[in-house]
Amino acid sequence: MLRRIRRPSFRLGGVAAVAAAALLVVPGTDGRAAAAGAHARPAAATAGATTPFVTVEAETGTLGGGAAVRSLRPGATVPSVATLETEASGNALVELKNTGDAVTLNNGSGRPANTLVVRASIPDAANGGGIDATLDLYVNGGYRQAITLSSKQAWNYRGATTDPDDPHAGGMPYRFYNEFPVRVTGAAVPAGATITLRKDSANTAAVYDVDSVDLEDVAAARTRPAGSLSVVDYGADPDFGTDSTAAIQNTVNAARAQGRPVWIPPGKYLTNSLSGATLDFTGVTVDGAGMWYTTIYRKPPLPATWRSQILVGSGTTLRDVQIDTNAVWRGVGGSGGADYGINASGAGGWLVERIWTRHTDANWLSGSDGTVRDSRTADSYGDGFNINNSNTPNPDKLGYHITVQNNFARGTGDDSFATYSDAGASGTNGQVDGAKITGNTAVAPWWANGLRIAGGRNVEMTNNLVNSVSSNSALDIGVFGDTGHPLESATVSGNVLIGGGGWNGVRHGVRISSPAATSLYPDACTNVTLSGNTMRGAFRAGLYIDRKNVDVTLTGNTIDGPAGQGIWITSGVTGTGTFSGNTIQNLRPGQAATQNDSPSTFTVTG
């Protein structure tokens, strides 16, 4: 059964954004994030990560001077290239161009904030490489401090003929934003107080594009676990003066031999060893003092020619650290300096919790019985969190029963949360089984999708929140290229998917597809059940089905306010669709609730 409801007044983006697109997110009493803001919907209260911070979108603030909101809304022409609006959360930002321009935001979290994370963009240098510039922060109207922003890890150029940092090599600019963690000078920002970001005469960037601000009351540093070995005792430097790679690894090796945990005290630890050896934490519990206190900063000289990832193997527990890097573009182990945040494997299980990876490539998750939870990633050059079989038949890298739960990803350079199963050219890689991606939040990936399922068996993707996807879809379901395993079974339920349908070709809110038959899998099919999901404000069709061999069950979903069709089954699709109890509402004039352009080959029942 399909209900069609028309309410033309619905809009997404800008000041009157819907649910998470322009709101204050506060912790919910049900253990998840509750949404409170213009036109908030109950569905948003059960989707997404519970975080220790709240996010205020800049476009919901009070503007000062000549500050202006720039936004992109469904129904507008979708740009064919990346823009500041497509990459902004809520697809809206506040622009500060002249002295005196300002935006004022309220700390409505109900608690003080001693830290901020400002997500903003400033221009690139004329010849690439970025600039630094300050922006002034006021609390309740009084000057508090200058915040240093940078574009040195932003502004890549897609398709550049020299390197991705060269603005003169014919590439398309993207990756505009960066996040800037700030410890508030002096007293914490009280609950109910205002913060103002203002371009003063000392703030020299030509323009400041402010996307959002996180407010957090960070607790005291964690204390040293009993019986642990401290990396400082083995020679590590918490003051970022000398390289700590060997000292950290030697501590881990000693702890492994003695059956003891490792302690990384508060500090910033430089790891730029010319040995090229990666830190390997396999079999050891490694504790930091907290992601705001303990930072492992990977600084391979650029151009880099070796790996700088952190290995997590069987029996590893890693928690309460930040992992940052000086990488400037994607290319794992290459000249841009990027590498995985963590690379997890092992048949014996592993646990990663409360970590924060920044400016890394993907967090690469294979092995068996592993869990990543309560963590963050930002400004990555690859996926946020990717469950996979590591493209190998290795029994330590099977991709069995891996869980990614209650994590927050923003500004990722590929899918924010993904699972993919690649059979390999000869079909010898095993099928990923039992991947579970649940209760996570994906905000503003600058490349690829918010969520992605690419092959696998017994996949669960539940209760996640996606808000604002620049290039592709909020959710993409199918098979990994021409060598991917079929998607044998997947359950997708309780997700709130806002936006999708960006600049990268013709994309949509949610896409379900499968490649044509391949030599490896001539009868491969995508089999998926979607139930109880909300798909809101897509920039083209709300749900798009294309290519071959798709069997999909849609039950109790809501498609709300797409710019195009509610459901569009394009021509040439083969397979079946079983639809029941779905709602399609707020369609624009002339748009079909369901458009099946493959009536003879794709059978829809219900």
Task: Using pLDDT thresholds of 50, 70 and 90, give the confidence band for residue 492.
Answer: very high
Instruction: Give the number of other CB atoms < 10 A from CB of residue 529.
Output: 15
pLDDT at 331 over 80: yes
User: Phi, psi (5° rounding) for residue 236?
Assistant: -70, 145
Read off the pTM. Answer: 0.93
121 alpha carbon, distance to own chain's centre: 17
Instruction: Give the number of other CB atoms < 10 A from CB of residue 194.
Output: 16
- Please answer whether residues 292 and 315 qualify as being in contact, where contact means their C-beta atoms are separated by less than 8 angstroms: no
What secondary structure letter does DSSP report for 90? G
The β-bridge partners of 536 are 498, 560
Instruction: Give the number of other CB atoms < 10 A from CB of residue 192.
Output: 12
Distance CA 304, CA 331 (A): 10
Share of the chain above pLDDT 70, in %: 91
- Type of residue at 599: P
pLDDT computed for residue 1 by the predictor: 36
For residue 87, give Cα distances in angstroms to 82, 116, 366, 368, 378: 7, 20, 29, 34, 13
Q: Does domain 53-216 have CATH number 2.60.120.260?
A: yes
Selection from 203, 193, 211 nearest residue 148 by Cα: 203
31 alpha carbon, distance to own chain's centre: 21
- Show me where the domains of the chain are located: 53-216
The β-bridge partners of 271 are 298
Taking only the tens place, the pLDDT of each residue in 226-275 is: 999 999 999 999 999 999 999 999 999 999 999 999 999 999 999 987 77
DSSP 443-510: E--SSS-SEEEESBBSEEEES-EEE--SSS-SEEEE--TTTBPPB--EEEES-EEE----TTTT--SE
The residue-averaged pLDDT of 511-525 equals: 78
Distance CA 270, CA 324 (A): 10
pLDDT computed for residue 41 by the predictor: 35
Share of the chain above pLDDT 90, in %: 85
The residue-averaged pLDDT of 293-304 equals: 87
Q: Which two tokens stand for residue 1?
A: 């059964």
Distance CA 215, CA 593 (A): 40
pLDDT computed for residue 520 by the predictor: 79
Least confident of 10-24, 166-180, 557-571: 10-24
Distance between first and last Cα of the chain: 5
Least confident of 30-44, 182-196, 433-447: 30-44
HSE (side-chain half, CA atoms, 13 Å) at 15: 6
Number of H helices, E strands in the chain: 2, 53
- Type of residue at 191: A
Taking only the tens place, the pLDDT of each residue in 87-104 is: 999 999 999 999 999 999
- Please answer whether residues 592 and 570 qualify as being in contact, where contact means their C-beta atoms are separated by less than 8 angstroms: no
Distance CA 274, CA 251 (A): 19
